[in-house]
Amino acid sequence: MAKQDLILIHAPSVYDFRKEFLFYGPVSDLVPSTPVFEMYPFGFMTLAAHLHKLGYKVRIVNLASMMLNDPRLDVPEFLRRLDARVFGIDLHWLPHAHGSLAVAEIVRRLHPGSKVLFGGYSSTYYHRELVRYPQVDMVMRGDSTEVPVAELFAALDKDGDLEKVQNLTWKDERGVHENPFTFVPEDIDYIEIDYGWIIRSVIRHRDLEGHKPFKDWDRYPLTVAFTVRGCQQQCLVCGGCSSAMKGFLGRARPAFRSPELVAQDIRSIQDYLKAPTFVVGDVRAGGKRYAERFFSEAKRLGIDNPVVLELFVPAEAQYYRDARTAFPSYSIEFSPDSHDEQVRHALGRRFDTSSMERTVQLALQNDCRRFDLFFMIGLPQQTRECALDSAKYAKRLHEITSSDKRLFVFESPLAPFLDPGSYAFEHAEEVGYKLLARTLEEHRSRLASPSWKYVLSFETKWMSRDEIVDASYDAADLLSRARFESGLFDQDELGARLERTDMAREMMREIDSAMAIKDPSDRSARFEELREKGRELMESTICQKSDLEWESHGILKSVPRAVFSLVRGKGKRKG
């Protein structure tokens, strides 16, 4: 196998999840990936494209997805066959703390002459602790690492002197070094988004599985386009909020991508794939004129792929009219987080309930294909009763939209961790949180716990861990009943969903009983008995995974389009 300059590896949440007893319940029900969190960060693509343009050889390996789809995969043997000067491993969000460090340990043992580089939000927050693990050589800090990583390779090519590489924390025989955090770009127009590179890399390495963004991507391809890095919102529990960005990512203000480039990114995706594109970030965050330019350019380019738009606050009628004109098929994602204005305001979401209801109605009146609305459990000022009232409130939303089948209401727990860097993490007691984990190692060790209740890293002044767990399943039942009573599915579907949450509750009770067994061997034997049942309930416990899927086609239907674009050389437009 040809030696690469950089191999980017995405590890599973827990290594080895195939052998451990793990019941993660609903923690990933509302994202495309499984509880293994096998979706790699989008930064893999932009980093790979940037380095490729400079002449470096880069490969993406979604190890988590490969392990999911091949239970017999010999991970050490597979990693032994890889060859790279640098192995890059993401620790973007903390649910990967266990798997990423375990995979790094294997890579270090098998490739002692290579460097192991970490990156991502959590890597940045914990860079001083992370670099002291023996399997970690370097940590690249920040939300924009394309240029600093290129500087890293330039230094390795020259004389190996890493002292001038921006944003880098590293160690050598003299100890740990923390280079200045100086690369914080004011915009992100420089980044490369090239799906053609991914397709060519798949062909070059004969490896679709290792490049897939998540396990079922070949059945349900989903793409993304970024409008911004950073955020103006101050949501108390978010590690990507404005105070977190300023506090540990060095970003005083968001870095936007030009709206015309965002529209062109979506059009470029369309050259290769017939698939929905999720536009990350509310396009109004850059101002009214930013949104107008985005919609105008999208209309000019003739985009016909489905597009999913994100709202941070309710939108007015003109926004939806512009979206309808720009895209033949658009959907909306909106996370008010609670139906209760007091809870929303405590969280940092300062809009009223009437405007929330009106934005749902306006979207559906303006030909929105589907509207996904998300509530959350485990928020400041939120009691168990209040969390369940959010689920009951779904009935009102179905009523005011005349039981429109395009509206989907979800509610999930804030799990498994409270984001480091968020205001609630940094000022836990002030806002009513009790932290059960603070350090990277404390989070890493929790991930191997047998159920998501034991993984949870916090309680609140208003809800214990047990109450958060119970409310999550009870809210799921209330949402199912609301959809049934609104005529959105039949008695059989209601019965199947209620039965599944009942089974999940029973599993939680059986895990609690097993945890009470004092003898370790007897406890392990009991978990072994529960393994298969737990595996069957790992996904779709508080909703059906299919409830989340936008209009899409399998990847095979995009093959002629991709081949045609490669032949025409469209992938070369971006280097």
Tell me the sheet residues that pair with 225: 279
Indicate whether 180 and 226 sit together in one domain.
Answer: no
Please report where in the chains the tokens 């299919």 appear, as a residue. 546
Tell whether 154 and 247 lie within a shared domain: no
Q: What is the pLDDT of residues 204-242, one digit of tens each?
A: 666 666 666 766 767 767 889 999 999 999 999 999 999
- CATH code, domain with 62: 3.40.50.2300
Contacts of 128 (CB under 8 A, 6+ apart): 169, 176, 178
- Please give the Cα distance from 549 to 541 (Å, whole number): 16
Instruction: At 57, give phi and psi (nearest 5°).
Output: -95, 120
Q: How far is 330 from 343, CA to CA, in rounded Å? A: 30
Nearest CA to 333 out of 368, 365, 304 is that of 368
- Averaged pLDDT for residues 517-530: 93
The answer to whether residue 493 sits within a structural domain is yes
Cα–Cα distance between 281 and 35 in angstroms, integer? Answer: 24
Give the pLDDT band (50/70/90) at residue 531: confident
Range(s) of the domain holding residue 103: 4-191
**Arithmetic mean of pLDDT, 125-153:** 98
Rounded average pLDDT over 355-360: 98
Nearest to 154 by CA among 7, 56, 53: 56
Average pLDDT over residues 83-104: 96
- Nearest 10 degrees: CA dihedral of 559, 560, 565, 566? 60
- The pLDDT value recorded for residue 563 is 44
Residue 487 has pLDDT above 80, yes or no: yes
Q: Is residue 512 part of a domain?
A: yes
Give 509's contacts (C-beta < 8 A, 6+ positions apart). none
Residues 37 and 97 in one domain: yes
Q: Does 520 sit behind a cis peptide bond, omega within 30 degrees of 0 on the bond before it?
A: no
Is 564 or 387 the better-scoring residue by pLDDT? Answer: 387
Tokens of 567: 């032949």
Q: How far is CA 365 from CA 296, 317, 401, 575, in A?
A: 21, 9, 9, 42
Q: How far is the C-alpha of 190 from the C-alpha of 393, rounded, in Å?
A: 44
Q: What's the pLDDT tens digit per position in 252-299?
A: 999 999 999 999 999 988 888 888 999 999 999 999 999 999 999 999
Residue 337 phi/psi, 5-degree rounding, is: 75, -30
User: Does the pLDDT of residue 412 top 90, yes or no?
Assistant: yes
Domain co-membership, 384 together with 298: yes
How far is residue 308's CA from residue 152's CA, in Å, rounded to a whole number? 36
Angle, in degrees to the nearest 10, between helices 317-326 and 353-365: 30
pLDDT at position 360 over 70 = yes
Whether 562 is covered by a domain: the verdict is no
Same domain, 114 and 263: no
Nearest to 104 by CA among 124, 75, 71, 74: 75
Percent of the chain with pLDDT over 70: 89
- 356, pLDDT greater than 60: yes
Let me know whether 225 and 285 are in one domain: yes
Q: Both tokens of residue 111?
A: 């490739």
Number of domains in the chain: 2
Q: Given this model, what pLDDT does residue 209 score?
A: 62
175-178, strands of its sheet edge to edge = 58-62, 4-10, 84-90, 115-119, 138-140, 168-172, 175-178
Q: CA torsion, points 419, 421, 422, 423, in degrees to nearest 10? A: 140
Lowest mean pLDDT among 102-116, 200-214, 481-495: 200-214
What average pLDDT does range 119-131 have in this prediction? 97
pLDDT of the residue at 569: 57
C-alpha 431: how far from its chain's center? 25
Kindly tell me the number of DSSP H helices and DSSP E strands found in the chain: 22, 17
For residue 280, the domain's CATH number is 3.80.30.20
Residue 421: how many other CB atoms lie within 10 Å: 24
Tell me the percentage of the chain whose pLDDT exceeds 90. Answer: 78
- Residue 190 dihedral angles phi and psi, to the nearest 5°: -80, -15
Q: Which residues are CB-neighbours of 130 under 8 A, at least 6 positions away? A: 91, 118, 123, 136, 139, 440
Q: Is residue 561 in a domain? A: no
Residue 341 has pLDDT above 90, yes or no: yes
Residue 33's φ and ψ, nearest 5 degrees, are -80, 175
| CA distance linking residue 420 with residue 429, whole number of Å | 14
Q: What is the pLDDT of residue 32?
A: 62
pLDDT category at 16 given cuts 50, 70, 90 is confident
**360's torsion region: left (phi>0), alpha (psi -120 to 50) or beta?**
alpha
Whether residues 161 and 225 share a domain: the answer is: no
Judge whether 214 lies within some domain.
Answer: no
The reply to whether 443 and 503 lie within a common domain is yes
With a CB cutoff of 8 Å and minimum separation 6, the contacts of 138 are 115, 116, 117, 118, 131, 152, 162, 168, 169, 170, 171
Consecutive H or E run containing 119: strand 115-119
Q: Is residue 353 part of a domain?
A: yes
Closest CA to 387 of 399, 396, 379, 397: 379
Mean pLDDT of 447-452: 93
**What is the model's pLDDT at position 573?**
38
Q: Does 24 map to a domain?
A: yes
- Final residue of a domain: which of 174, 191, 208? 191
Q: Is the pLDDT of residue 566 over 50?
A: no
Question: What does DSSP assign to residue 340?
Answer: -
- Report d(CA 150, CA 276) in Å as an integer: 31
Please check the confidence at residue 574 and state whether its pLDDT lies above 70: no
Mean pLDDT, all residues of the chain: 90
Looking at the fold, whether 265 and 384 belong to one and the same domain comes out as yes
Question: How many residues does this entry show for the chain?
Answer: 575
Whether residues 414 and 521 fall in one domain: yes
pLDDT at 562: 46
Residues 528 and 441 in one domain: yes
Q: What pLDDT band is residue 62 in, cutting at 50, 70 and 90? A: very high
- The residue with greater pLDDT, 229 or 23, is 229
At 275 the pLDDT is 86
Asked, for residue 462, whether it belongs to a domain, the answer is yes
**Are 148 and 228 within one domain?**
no
Which has more confidence, 573 or 263?
A: 263
Tell me which of 191, 212, 229 is where a domain ends.
191
pLDDT in tens, 166-208: 999 999 999 999 999 999 999 999 998 777 666 666 666 666 6
Looking at this protein, which amino acid is placed at residue 144?
A: S
**Residue 69: what pLDDT?**
87
Is residue 1 pLDDT above 60, yes or no?
A: no
Backbone angles phi and psi of 119, in degrees to 5:
-160, 170
